[in-house]
Structure 1
Amino acid sequence: MDLPLVLVVALALIFGYTNGFHDAANAIATSVSTRALTPRIALALGAAANLVGAFFGTRVAETVGEGILEPEGLGLAPVAGALVGAIGWNLVTWWRGLPSSSSHALIGGLVGAAVATGADVRWTPVVELVIAPMLLSPLLGLALGWTLMTAIAWIFRHRDRPSSARGFRSAQTVSAAAMAFGHGMQDAAKVSGVVVLALMASGNRPSQGTDIPLWVVGLSGLAMSIGTYAGGWRIMRTLGSRIVPLTPPQGFAAETAAAITLAIATALRAPISTTYTITSGIIGVGTATNSRAVRWDVGRDILTAWLLTLPGAALAAAASAWLFALA
């Protein structure tokens, strides 16, 4: 690989790292807040599950690699600009403690960089595989969270609360692992997709039977796992306690709802946001138990970040790509 391609691949891995510490809270905040797991054990579990999940997300990687931008004649400037914009957005929102979406930042960055440099955007797949799932997945997470919590409350209505809480703390080890596995399937796969996009844009299209070489998947998963273990304590506090004080049954329901939503999206090749999936699951379980306990002002801040992420990352990426193109 020539030096420009090596630098772009390095940027992709840096994005994967920032994705890991920015979105570490997605998988473990609920388990930590309910004291089902200690922070370090939760981070280690999340990092390991992220790495394993990366090898099961190739369908999402293919969407990011070939379904958003036309690789032929693309060049590396738009890819580099998209990554710089997404990394910048991750750092700003992490600093503010806002659980915004690394996935939306990357997608917005790719589209913004392409428009700025005159590259071709595949608008039909973007609408069908990105925008529609982006809007629908939080609704599904919300509905599943509410349904699961309602079912749990009814099934365990006559059980002793302390013993039930102990049981759900144990169950959260499984649900947190499933959520982290889904995070790996989705977000590590997006890093893999960007690396493959850079390979194709530079004329180095993978020659293996699959368009996603194993070394790409392994490096992408490892970068995100290291970032996950580094932690994202600012955002973890927001998801773990500021939206709604979570009990072990609520934590289990929210994580399970998010894991199911991520699995469905991955099967459909749709790159969705793990951040907004778990956030909507938490709001769903909160409203099922006591809607007054939900801090809707925090939800409003998260919604604002959701609305700003795509255009904000797109503008940052467009400026970066334009400068790279001039260089």
Structure 2
Amino acid sequence: MSEPTLDILAIGNAIVDVLAQADEAFLAAEGLEKGAMRLIDAEQATALYARMGAGREISGGSAANTLAGFAALGGRCAFIGQVADDQLGEVFAHDIRAQGVAFDMPALAGGDVPTARCLILVTPDGQRTMNTYLGAAQYLPAAAVDEALVASASILLLEGYLWDPLEPRAAMQRAVRAARAAGRKIALGVSAVFCILSHRADFIDLIERGDVDILFANEEEVLALAGVDDFEAAVAWTAARVPLLVTTRGADGAIAVQGKERVAVKAEPIDRVVDTTGAGDLFSAGFLAGYVEGRNLEDCLVMGAVAAAEVISHYGARPEADLKALVAARLG
């Protein structure tokens, strides 16, 4: 078996985020649950966009954000995701390549389905309420998965959000088979509670089959996955089924459980939370960067916490500061 030439290959939604500030009265008027994520259709996206305040367009997508952070930390990575042949598709492709991530997917032709966009309303406390129109992202075909590319990466990273549409789900299932055949590791980010509620049986099936080596989930997500109300019981249930469980807990830090080893770290201090968009994505980036370097679990968690702290200090889900320098200052 040949040595991998990539550290991570990720499959996820190719999305451009449109961020705007909003107060809680606006959320209430729109019938939105603060801090939640929902899927919307084209008509809803058009209507909400018209009522939002002035927005900033910044490339996003959970797995793509993770790769942007991972590349900033020196990792070798590539992304598979579907954009359309339109302006936002060009923005996404330019941004991810400029951040050092290989992206060679042809755009979806035809013009009927636009590139995905996520309308993000950020309240003064930094919480983000996400309204996602999947557009072209939900038409990622299984044929887009290059099995040789999958085999070239040490880790295949799957984005839970993309499990919802049928075509991308088939693409990820093909990638899982290719990764397993090549003896590579598979990481899964479950992405959101609604993904688990919709596809809990599928995720558990992946886990029980041994097709998840690293599982990323926040506190609410691990509770939903385990189907219990107690955090420690949820961690015990999940950690017994995956080789490595990484769970973030917001301001309470994060834990990692690998076999009998359990490590916890505190959240990194920050002067002000500006926008929590991408916090979990960048945490995964930092953790995986440490993981591929062979660092211990505590260092991996600290690297994740450093990357997450950087991204919540500004608008947008991609890093702006020098993550390598921040990690070096923290860990030496």
TM-score normalised over the length of structure 1: 0.27
Which has more helix, going by share of residues? 1
Higher relative contact order (CA 8 A, sep 6+): 1
Higher share of residues assigned strand: 2
TM-score where L is the length of structure 2:
0.27
